[in-house]
Amino acid sequence: MGRGKIAIKRIENQTTRQVTFSKRRAGLLKKTHELSVLCDAQIGLIIFSSTGKMCQYCTQPYRMEQIIERYQKVTGTRIPEHDNREHLYNELAVLRKETRLLQLSMRRYTGEDMSSIPYEELDQLEQELERSVNKVRERKNELLQQQLDNLRRKERMLEEENNNMYRWIQEHRAAIEYQQQGGLEAKPVEHHQQVLDEFPFYGEPSSVLQLATIPQQFSYQLQLAQPNLQDSNV
């Protein structure tokens, strides 16, 4: 018995429809290729599945664009080109409108063109500006506090260096006096004069600038103190 005749209508079962499409598409492409080779025909075949997947065949060595262009010349038809100018004009108009609204909004925040604003919007604008000013002040005070803390840390470091240098000088002075009283032969006078030449001040240093005159050969190095902003108005 021969195979039963299949009714030519849409296959409702999706799986069966997909299997039938794959089989018949392969057969169609095979027959198209045979027709193109055997008869020296120029064929362009484009297939779209129900899921939108495209499959095509074009006679070698031609391209699909050449087949379509030849079809247009023979039939006298042309595929209309998509004109984006109208779409661009619409987008440009929307952007201009948004820009205009933003400019008007910015003029309100700068206090310009206030005559057309109703009372309710003026009250809302005032509240927004007050919130913005409060945020700016909080950030400003935060930065000033950070700077003040840094200056205080620098002040403590300089005071500590000053005290260390003063103790070091006092220890060397005491050692010189001990040598002088003990009558040692280590040339105390010359050593005492050398220390006095290197440290041309007596007693506790009166300022950091005095300590800055100490020669570079000693291990302690001082930095100029930063201005004290503790008593300044923040």
Kindly provide the b/e burial profile for residues 193-216, where b requires at least 16 CB atoms within 10 angstroms of the residue's own CB.
eeeeeebeeeeebeebebbeebee
Instruction: Give the integer Cα–Cα distance in Å for 160 and 169.
Output: 14
Give the model confidence (pLDDT) of 12-56 as tens digits: 888 888 889 999 999 999 999 999 999 999 999 999 988 888 999
Which one-letter amino acid corresponds to residue 62? Y
Burial class for 165, CB neighbours closer than 10 Å (0-12, 13-18, 19+): buried
* Structural domain spans, the chain: 14-75, 82-116, 125-180
CB 222 within 8 A of CB 212: yes
pTM of the model: 0.34
Q: Which superfamily does 14-75 belong to?
A: Transcription factor, MADS-box (3.40.1810.10)
Among 154-163, 172-181, 199-208, name the one with the lowest average pLDDT. Answer: 199-208
Give the model confidence (pLDDT) of 69-87 as tens digits: 888 888 887 766 656 777 8
Among 75-89, 173-187, 188-202, name the one with the lowest average pLDDT. Answer: 188-202
Q: Which DSSP category does 83 fall into?
A: -
Q: Which DSSP category does 116 fall into?
A: T
